Amino acid sequence: MAFPTLRDFLQHLEKNDELRRVKVPVDPVLEIAAISDRVMKSPAPHGHAERDKHLGANLGGRALLFENTRNAQFPLAINAFGSYWRICQALGCDSLDALADKVSQLIKPEVPTSLMEKMKKGLDFLKLASVPPKSVRSGICQQVVLEGESADLRKLPILQCWPLDGNIESDQVFSRSDADAAKPTHTGTGRYITLAGIYTRNPDSSHRNVGMYRVQVHGPRLCAMHWHMHHDGAKHYRAWKAAGESKMPLAVVLGGESVLPYAATAPLPPNVSELLFAGFLNGSGIELVKCKTIDLEVPANAEIVIEGYVDLNQKLYEGPFGDHTGFYSLADFYPAFHVTAITHRRDAIYPATIVGQPPMEDYFIGKATERIFLPLLKMLVPDVIDYTLPMSGTFHNCAVLKIRKEYPQQARRLMHAIWGAGQMSLTKFVVVVDEHVDVHDEQQVLFQVFANVDPLRDVEIVKGPIDILDHASIEYGWGGKIGFDATKKWPGEGQVRAWPRELSFDDLTRTLVDKRWREYGIG
């Protein structure tokens, strides 16, 4: 079972020696981020990291609770999701693979053939249907209500993560050529809200969305709302504009049920509600309460809610921002968000994160997606046995996939399938290996690439959409992609010489050595 509030989750982490309290005064401007970056790149608590076979490096450190944040009224929690063990605890599961199996039961396309199979499939869907969000009259998120001038973002310990965040006078270039056409009239601080659910809806209320987008502070009640053009928040923004409206309600939600931050980042199919998925992960529906100043509902168990509206006719300069790519993403114009109220629980804790060159907290959230959505990827691309998004690839840069090869050019077919599969379409490097290779062992994968790839025969280069944060692409949002066929080559795949067998001991010898290992006295 997941946890009903952020405070409950943090208390659980502390009981399991997964959290450290920092009691001395610490500055939200750079100091907290520098401390957190060092902790995130340190070893995870002993014994927990080995519980997941997909771990790789035993990194992540502990969660941190800064109890004394300078010039702010709230303590700050960070790195709460920054290890495999902690992300599993937040999602209420023993392992990400077990949760993936649970998800797979909902999306299996097979038609049930027997009465028992029909009953089981019906129960699976009944579980999903029984966990929609539910409206309640009140919640702890509104124990304190601040409206008007008392709703001041400066009371929150909002982080500046990297030295050049928000510094448009730096040597950063603008993200698009048209950004030079109009110089900014209102520039923001280097402070960003980084771990909030952004709640929006369509003008007709037919669809609501929860995304996780960064929010740059421009003033006590003014922010720049950053979202990519293909995000649902941006889709809602365009819908409100098309409807001829001038304002779009929006809420920035911090904390709540421990499943909410992950659900906000999950690459769900179109029109599948993040709140329904959160209820599925939570084991019960997420309780929602109506906002005080806008027409939206938000999680009743949240720590802090920032209510307001997006001005559909105003844009602010946003960026640069130290991003998950390990580089500063470039400055550009984004919609203006005006704060109308801040509500919070009496003893609220402000959750935050920092992104940058991995390993970071978001790496483990991304790995949860990799595992949990493997069944969905298999349904879209049945050739895939397993895959990994390696740490060095920062999510969109690289994917390694393994297949059970059955015909020539199958690896190339897989590459193009991946380049047409939802958010996977942004993948810049695709590597395909045979079924005996452990895709989570980077040295094994590199061995296969360096040994099995002939650059003239086994490389596929194409053009297409690229993550807009990719500074190396030749144009904004599109560029080149490359695939490496590191499988054993078959006749029909070009000029193929006699293929040798890889070195390995026979099963009988391996079993003998396993059985006698202690007897050898080696250790």
DSSP per residue over 222-264, as a string?
Answer: EEEE---TTSHHHHHHHHHHHTT-SEEEEEEEE--STTHHHHH
Give the pLDDT score at 129. Answer: 59
CA atoms within 13 A on the CB side of 377: 26
Give the pLDDT score at 261. Answer: 96
More confident site: 186 or 292: 292
pLDDT digits (tens, 9 = 90+) for 364-404: 999 899 999 898 889 889 999 999 999 888 878 999 999 99
Give the pLDDT score at 466. Answer: 87
Q: State mean pLDDT over 259-284.
A: 89
Give the pLDDT score at 101. Answer: 87
Per-residue pLDDT band for 275 (boundaries 50, 70, 90) equals very high
DSSP bridge pairs for 473: none
Dihedral angle sign, alpha carbons of residues 400, 403, 409, 415: negative
- Say whether 323 is catalytic: yes
More confident site: 267 or 17: 17
Choose, from 37, 232, 323, 470, the residue flagged as catalytic.
323
pLDDT above 50 (res 489): yes
Nearest to 199 by CA among 140, 242, 248, 142: 248
- For every residue of 107-128, DSSP letters joined together read H--PPP-SHHHHHHHHHHHHHH
pLDDT above 90 (res 7): yes
pLDDT digits (tens, 9 = 90+) for 141-185: 999 999 999 999 999 999 999 999 999 876 655 565 444 445 555
Q: What is the pTM of this model?
A: 0.89
More confident site: 107 or 493: 493
More confident site: 252 or 396: 252
Percent of the chain with pLDDT over 70: 89
pLDDT above 90 (res 214): yes
Domains of the chain: 6-98+357-361 (no CATH), 126-352 (2.30.110.10), 381-507 (3.40.1670.10)
Q: State mean pLDDT over 224-239.
A: 90
pLDDT above 50 (res 484): yes
pLDDT above 60 (res 121): no
Length of the chain, please?
523
The pair of structure tokens assigned to 255 is 């904390």
Give the pLDDT score at 388. Answer: 94
Give the pLDDT score at 419. Answer: 94
Q: State mean pLDDT over 49-73.
A: 76
Give the pLDDT score at 181. Answer: 46
Burial status of residue 394 (CB atoms within 10 A of its CB: 0-12, 13-18, 19 or more): buried
pLDDT above 60 (res 434): yes
Q: State mean pLDDT over 113-120.
A: 49
Q: Beta strand 215-219 with 192-193: parallel, antiparallel or unpaired?
A: antiparallel
Neighbour count for residue 462 (Cβ, 10 Å): 12
Break the chain down into helix, strand, coil percent, rounded to 5.
30, 25, 45
- For every residue of 403-424, DSSP letters joined together read E---STTHHHHHHHHHTTSGGG
- For every residue of 303-326, DSSP letters joined together read SEEEEEEEEEEEEEEE--EE-TTS
CA 133 to CA 276: how far, in whole Å?
6
pLDDT above 70 (res 56): no
CA 434 to CA 497: how far, in whole Å?
18
| Range name among 166-170, 224-228, 403-407 with the lowest pLDDT average | 166-170
pLDDT above 50 (res 50): no
pLDDT above 70 (res 504): yes
CA 388 to CA 390: how far, in whole Å?
6
Angle at the Cα of 73 (from 224 to 197), degrees rounded to 5? 40
